[in-house]
Amino acid sequence: MFLMLLSVCIAQEDIESGAEGSDEDTKNLKFKLLFFREDCFNEFLKFNIFYKDCISITISKGLGYGIIIGASAVKLPQVFNILKAQSGAGILVSMFYMEAYMHIINGCYNIHLGSPFSVYGENFCLLAQNLLLIALIWYYERNVTTLKMCLVSFSILGPLTYLFFDFMVPVALWKLLMNIQIIMVAYSRMPQILENFRNKTTGELSSIMFILNTLGNLARLFTFVKETNDVLNMCTSGLSAVLNFTIFVQILFYWKNTQKYKHLQHKGEFSQRPSLVKAGSDEGSMDEETRA
């Protein structure tokens, strides 16, 4: 499915690249007070609020900065869950590795394009939180070798340094990285979705984090539509929203199984692997509560 979506996005990108100049006059205008495009600001002072696309572009700017503010705390519920349980049970750390690469590519690519900060700023907030989550999972797993930690750290911080200094990156590499973004998004979430399905529990995954991620992806999709012509970014945000929402639904669906597992694990009747839970009558049940 995601390969089909990738091909559609690439084809659409080629179509739209010829039409980029149509709104160039308004795209190049500066913004006042962060939110108001220069021509819109002047018209708003005259109470002409329906001038051109001023309402939608102002809302888009507000959403963009709102996303950045929200992103600075969106993964804290997951951090809290891990600290509270002193465990990363049920969480595939590879999900956060892949997310880190995606945030590096997205953030640096938009710097390369000269996109407004409101379009990409959250990537660096999320990257910092991902690194914290990786460190916590490593700490509580206690079986990660120093060599592995060094290799993973280098593989994340190395590309960040290289891509951030954009003058060293050939245009062909930028295009390649953005073209494989859809595959990276799928790989960052599908293994966790399959793991949840196989175990019939969701371990220490945070429902709050995944619903906030979904809402953030949808809001970011809107800002990409309004402020850029980058179809690949739009497709990436759309697929991210679908996959994040899928995990959120799984957390609700396997809620009772997860609570049963945690209770038995607390009593010492199960090992660290959630897959050892025997799903009986509780399997697949949905509780009305949502897990923090």
pLDDT tens, position by position, 24-35: 444 556 666 566
**In this structure, are strands 31-32 and 36-37 parallel, antiparallel, or unpaired?**
antiparallel
Assigned domain for 26 exists: no
Q: Show the domain range for 102.
A: 2-13+75-276
> Is the pTM here over 0.75, yes or no?
no
Q: Which pair of tokens denotes residue 47?
A: 């109470």
- Rounded to whole angstroms, how far apart are CA atoms 120 and 103? 9
Query: 61-108, pLDDT tens digit by residue?
Result: 788 788 888 888 999 999 999 999 888 888 999 999 999 999 999 899
Look at residue 140 and tell me whether its pLDDT is greater than 70.
yes
- Rounded to whole angstroms, how far apart are CA atoms 233 and 260? 40
Look at residue 123 and tell me whether its pLDDT is greater than 60.
yes
Residue 154's pLDDT is: 95
Residue 283's pLDDT is: 41
Assigned domain for 36 exists: no
Whether the CB-CB separation of 137 and 91 falls below 8 Å is answered with yes
Whether the CB-CB separation of 71 and 128 falls below 8 Å is answered with no
Residue 290's pLDDT is: 43
Assigned domain for 161 exists: yes
Residue 14's pLDDT is: 40
Of 290 and 67, which is predicted with more confidence? 67
- Return the number of other C-beta atoms located less than 10 Å from residue 3's C-beta: 10
Whether the CB-CB separation of 188 and 36 falls below 8 Å is answered with no
Residue 222's pLDDT is: 85
59: Cα within 13 Å, side-chain hemisphere: 11
The letter for the amino acid at 219 is A
- Rounded to whole angstroms, how far apart are CA atoms 166 and 144? 33
The confidence band for 197, taking pLDDT boundaries of 50, 70 and 90, is very high
> Residue range 191-201: average pLDDT?
93
Of 175 and 16, which is predicted with more confidence? 175
> Residue range 41-55: average pLDDT?
74
Residue 21's pLDDT is: 40
Q: Which pair of tokens denotes residue 193?
A: 């979705």
Assigned domain for 56 exists: no
Assigned domain for 284 exists: no
Residue 206's pLDDT is: 93
Assigned domain for 202 exists: yes
Query: 252-282, pLDDT tens digit by residue?
Result: 999 998 888 777 766 665 554 554 444 443 4
Query: 218-240, pLDDT tens digit by residue?
Result: 988 887 887 777 788 788 889 99
The confidence band for 115, taking pLDDT boundaries of 50, 70 and 90, is confident
Assigned domain for 261 exists: yes
**Strands (DSSP E) along the chain, which ranges?**
31-32, 36-37
Look at residue 242 and tell me whether its pLDDT is greater than 90.
yes
Residue 210's pLDDT is: 95
Look at residue 180 and tell me whether its pLDDT is greater than 60.
yes
Looking at the structure of the chain, the number of domains it has is: 1
Assigned domain for 81 exists: yes
Return all residues near 197 (Cβ < 8 A) that are at least 6 apart. 250
The confidence band for 53, taking pLDDT boundaries of 50, 70 and 90, is confident
Residue 267's pLDDT is: 64
Phi and psi at residue 243, in whole multiples of 5°? -70, -40
Q: State whether residue 22 is helix, strand or coil.
A: helix
